[in-house]
Structure 1
């Protein structure tokens, strides 16, 4: 017996206790469990809400026996409020957690380091969810997943709904830290990310320019990027030796961009744009890049957002500008039903170094609606063309190396289009591409919430004159419509709109909303649609705005006015729609409406930072009338950064009379797209369009001007003559 006990004691001393599962129910218990965790142990967070929990997970496991932090039940442990996670050590695993209903109090939600000295090595984060965990002010920057150290993996996780500045997932490479990262980012679902309205909205970034000439050797594979449209760089590669393969990109505005660093491989990815504006593919910069075997279909982007673009560089470029493309290999790709392939993209006085020693071979090209997608913005003699086939176009840009022929396509079992002609079997994307499916990626136990109900999808609630509109708004649910009977409704204080809500006059009735100051204030998650109502603000006090979006409102709201008439207290007083800095509208539209005796109808100049913030993605005005207003719209986007899609501005079929201030009745500054067509301006100040960034598209056409100055385009950065199309406008009698 003594011998047996002695042996047992020796074994116990030589080998720690067997792996333990430690269930904890509060933060104190968690901290105690971390301190005593040994290789093979699992710390289990009890189901429920863990609010304001800044988790620090450290330890040293082994490859065979990692230390694990997980949920009691996957998906039922919610990290809310001011919560985050820092991981430091080796051979650790985190799984099953959900970050929701809050935002990190720091610059990172999940950080693969405890501090600057304790990085993560061989750590895995799997089946973790971050959903809408965004700071309220979109200008407040953070990174949802920050990869430090080496050999780490992020897989089968779900990331959706980031609306503030900062990369969704970034590999951070700093001088003094290991730069040969060898991270793996695979089988994740990157869900919808709306446009940020500034630079800094990437979904993935590997490195930064400072350390970009070294290799990260990170792999990004078999992920889904679903409407990840934060900015023009969906994936931004700023290091070398990375592999981006077999990802599926769905209706995502922007492109995979080889921004800095050399020797990266982009292969066997599938990009499906479905004709959505600004959907792109791959942009090539720097040396020794390989883009092969990819499939691009239905991409509507042009210029930097083309299905394929090869950029011009800057001679002797500094590290953070554009290095010349050299020894690029672009081969065996299919570009189908796509708007553009841009070569020597961005060529200008600064970016004058054309691509060199590069090859464009065995690619299949089928343009949109039989058009030639090729554009050359500079010299392309350094790109050798061979073995490419293009569906026949009337006037092809390229000759030798791009064969023009009839191309018939059929969908294969994998859902992709291939030529029916066996002679073209070796041209274009491989036949064995296998699109990654939704079931393969993300946490299979999690699906995001149903999106906020759209306008008009909820209940219709009738209201009679004299009823409290304020109470009805407070009681309304997302998507509801308040149908107002004829009569007058007094608005003593601004209505607070917290959901997407429609306020509309009932059929054959145009109720009058009599406003004492502001009409409505939109709060987080809100949106307002007004239809067939008259707003009487002639007695309104103060110089604010009818519809106000205050600071701190979550971005990506909508405002839509249709059949609305507004009479204000006098020209230059009481603006129409005004949004504070840090807020952002997806869409503002004014259709078939009338405005008189007021200030700026759309006052959108709150963003004054030079970084390039702007207040709305799209502003559309159609069939509307403006009389004695300070301006129809004053829209501002400052800065010269080229990483955004908008603003988009359109004004058609509208009239402006006796309006204007500071020399303009309509002032659009920094828009990427401005279309001002078939309007009339009488006894008013003129149209001023100011170009500040990129290659803006401006058209001012078929308008009538009576006692009104001719439209003017100003250039803030471009050194040549003003760009844009001004044509077929006429001078009319007042």
Structure 2
């Protein structure tokens, strides 16, 4: 027997030695060289890509490595191999490892930038992609969907990577369960930096998704841990779990608009995650759906989200739900979580005629709820007796139906060494554990690629004085850096060219109202990708514009815009937008998305079109053109079109906006042009948050509000309607009276009503 064991050991050692002897290092300088050796790689081989930019390089990395001797693909120097143009990476085989590559300045020609498979039958197993960067590698057609990372097969790992700036449709990282070979996969997704993802403006902007509804009753066994989600704002589901038996642990969600959603699948564990909202609009926490979910030892602070984007949500389900709808919450355990300044904890959320199955056989124990504004956060939307509360402590009053399980107690908080707030009294033993590990941003992703601010702020650069000539202005715009300010000397600037804005730029008058801009093209400023524009103190006239229809002062590029943008105008005067009909102030192109549009302290006189024309997405697919629109302290005189047309069609509920604020403006003779089909001074359709107050409407068309889905919040208050019809609010989806709040409005000389 001893002799036999010696022989076996000798054979093993000989096998290992032969593998090591056969293994080679390949230094590859071009695509042809890689392709010539790629089919012959064996366990222990190492492929090193030469530093430089590799354009249009579609890498197929395949082979049969071993646990002791994986096949490696890496950069000569980490971060100095750039894959640009239409490049991608596919892995197929076993024990493969890729590291050190950067994808930027292009987009994938296939369905994913990195894919753990060659095709449907050749998948990757026991393979790893680590220390990879994907930076703004987005398809220029933002409605064209792709993944950045798609995991197939089993026992694969994606870790210590840096992903930032996905702008087109599609999940950033997706775990696919569409074959038996990819189910019960035991993948690991860990220690990654998920950087800024801008608001997408419709469904399809998730940052991480495990599974899909089709395979949601299948177990995945994926581990998601130690990742940092930094302002990942794509849509309401930041992380979407759609399969069973996953663990989401020790991740940080920093100022991310959206939630960790247990959308489908049973038996998931969500523990020891940190949610820091800092009061940012629509920052959310955890949403619970389905059976056997465990949510414990999580810390949530400063979250403002509501409804499906709340700080914490337990949903109602659909009785006998189809696989793609809402399964009833059953046997959920929600324990030892801390909620600090969380605005909304919603129970039985989404209750309606379809979602009528309230939570059952579930418990909510030992949680700590502290709101320093003393506002109680709970809302219930159905019978919640199936969610039994016990030994929870809150510093506020709670709903009477929940008092049995929530003790009201004054609590003093103090900051611990991990930066989180805990009760100063150690006798308070509810809430998240005191030794929670708080992951630092700098400890995630890669060390050799900077985590730069996502947005260049206005006025953050240098100020350049521009003399009074159009050529000087155009030269200054060409030479400016993002964030710079151009200060215009008094005088006239007659611009003969369309001015393309592709950087963050402020154009302001040195003396307010003394710098006059006229123009000879159909528009003065056109915002392109990368462009953000702020105008301040200018006099802008349309008197020299072409004698044609559809002129404008500002527009986005007409189609194909990928980057979100910002537009601000303050203390400026707009005149003579009337050389022909349909002369608009601001027009959005199809597919363009504004993070914000702000008009404050301006005056507009003689306009034959609309002021803000934000209604190009009319296919009713849940897409819209602006997230936040603010119009405050302006004067509008003799405007034939509407002050604003803002449209969000469809029934999709995965977005937060649009948001509209119109405060303290004067509208005189606005909205009665024969070409204004809306016959409204303000027309909004499907807008989620509308606040119109303290305005004066004089001889103007009425406000028209059309509610669709998403429980829109509309308030029209403290306005004066002088010789103007009162607002017209319609519910287009929900039967019954409208839900808008109309109060304290003053109606004068209104014979029509």
Q: Which TM-score applies when normalising by structure 2?
A: 0.94
1:464 equivalent to 2:473? Answer no
SS of the counterpart of 1:664? coil
Give the one of 571, 581, 585 matched to 1:563: 571
Deviation sequence 1:109-155 (CA, Å, 0-9, x none)? 11111111111111100000111111223222111001111111001
Aligned to 2:73: 69
Structure 1 residue 488, shift from structure 2 partner: 1.3
Aligned to 1:91: 95
- Structure 2 runs not aligned, ≥5 long: 1-13
The answer (yes or no) to whether the contact 1:485–1:509 under 8 Å persists in 2 is no
Aligned to 2:444: 441
Aligned to 1:374: 378
Q: Distance in 2 between matches of 1:361 and 1:560?
A: 48
Aligned to 1:653: 664
Q: Distance in 2 between matches of 1:608 and 1:677?
A: 27
Q: Distance in 1 between matches of 2:61 and 2:451?
A: 26
Superposed, which structure 2 residues align to 1:636-715 within 5 Å? 636-660=647-671, 661-662=676-677, 663-715=679-731
Aligned to 2:306: 302
Q: Distance in 1 between matches of 2:247 and 2:143?
A: 31
- The 3 A distance-change label for structure 1 pair 34 and 485 is same
Q: Distance in 2 between matches of 1:571 and 1:683?
A: 23
Moved more, 395-404 or 662-671: 395-404
Superposed, which structure 2 residues align to 1:328-727 within 5 Å? 328-393=332-397, 398-425=402-429, 427-449=430-452, 451=454, 453-468=456-471, 469-516=473-520, 517-541=522-546, 542=548, 543-550=550-557, 551-567=559-575, 568-569=577-578, 572-598=581-607, 599-629=609-639, 630-660=641-671, 661-662=676-677, 663-727=679-743
SS of the counterpart of 1:423? coil
Moved more, 405-414 or 22-31: 405-414
Structure 1 residue 11, shift from structure 2 partner: 9.1
- The 3 A distance-change label for structure 1 pair 13 and 653 is closer
The answer (yes or no) to whether the contact 2:513–2:573 under 8 Å persists in 1 is no
Give the one of 140, 148, 151 matched to 2:152: 148
Q: Distance in 2 between matches of 1:719 and 1:544?
A: 40
Q: Distance in 2 between matches of 1:451 and 1:232?
A: 20
SS of the counterpart of 2:681? strand
1:244 equivalent to 2:254? Answer no
Superposed, which structure 2 residues align to 1:127-206 within 5 Å? 127-206=131-210
- The 3 A distance-change label for structure 1 pair 724 and 419 is same
Q: Distance in 2 between matches of 1:548 and 1:177?
A: 50
Q: Distance in 2 between matches of 1:12 and 1:256?
A: 45
Deviation sequence 1:86-107 (CA, Å, 0-9, x none)? 1111110010001111111222
The answer (yes or no) to whether the contact 2:378–2:399 under 8 Å persists in 1 is no
Aligned to 2:8: none
Q: Distance in 2 between matches of 1:162 and 1:43?
A: 29
- The 3 A distance-change label for structure 1 pair 280 and 397 is farther
The answer (yes or no) to whether the contact 1:191–1:226 under 8 Å persists in 2 is yes
Q: Distance in 1 between matches of 2:445 and 2:16?
A: 41
Q: Distance in 2 between matches of 1:708 and 1:572?
A: 24
Deviation sequence 1:375-396 (CA, Å, 0-9, x none)? 1122111111111111133876
Deviation sequence 1:685-722 (CA, Å, 0-9, x none)? 11111111211111100111112111111112122321
Aligned to 2:59: 55
Q: Distance in 2 between matches of 1:254 and 1:67?
A: 39
SS of the counterpart of 1:159? strand
The answer (yes or no) to whether the contact 2:318–2:354 under 8 Å persists in 1 is yes
Q: Distance in 1 between matches of 2:401 and 2:476?
A: 61
- The 3 A distance-change label for structure 1 pair 460 and 609 is same
The answer (yes or no) to whether the contact 1:347–1:378 under 8 Å persists in 2 is yes
The answer (yes or no) to whether the contact 1:273–1:297 under 8 Å persists in 2 is yes
Moved more, 549-558 or 235-244: 549-558
Structure 1 residue 449, shift from structure 2 partner: 4.3
1:27 equivalent to 2:31? Answer yes
Structure 1 residue 83, shift from structure 2 partner: 1.1
Structure 1 residue 470, shift from structure 2 partner: 2.3
Structure 1 residue 14, shift from structure 2 partner: 6.1
Structure 1 residue 82, shift from structure 2 partner: 1.1
- State the number of aligned residues: 725
The answer (yes or no) to whether the contact 2:154–2:181 under 8 Å persists in 1 is no
Structure 1 residue 320, shift from structure 2 partner: 1.1
The answer (yes or no) to whether the contact 1:539–1:569 under 8 Å persists in 2 is no
SS of the counterpart of 2:233? coil
Deviation sequence 1:177-198 (CA, Å, 0-9, x none)? 4311111101111111111111
TM-align CA RMSD: 1.8
The answer (yes or no) to whether the contact 2:19–2:43 under 8 Å persists in 1 is no
Q: Distance in 2 between matches of 1:515 and 1:711?
A: 37
Structure 1 residue 397, shift from structure 2 partner: 5.8
Q: Distance in 1 between matches of 2:612 and 2:21?
A: 69
- Structure 1 runs not aligned, ≥5 long: 1-9
Q: Distance in 2 between matches of 1:135 and 1:11?
A: 47
Q: Distance in 2 between matches of 1:66 and 1:453?
A: 42
Aligned to 2:747: 731
- The 3 A distance-change label for structure 1 pair 571 and 359 is farther
Structure 1 residue 297, shift from structure 2 partner: 0.9
The answer (yes or no) to whether the contact 2:378–2:398 under 8 Å persists in 1 is no
Structure 1 residue 508, shift from structure 2 partner: 4.8
Aligned to 1:4: none
Q: Distance in 1 between matches of 2:408 and 2:19?
A: 72
The answer (yes or no) to whether the contact 2:542–2:579 under 8 Å persists in 1 is no
Aligned to 1:44: 48
SS of the counterpart of 1:399? helix
The answer (yes or no) to whether the contact 1:372–1:397 under 8 Å persists in 2 is no
Superposed, which structure 2 residues align to 1:209-288 within 5 Å? 209-288=213-292
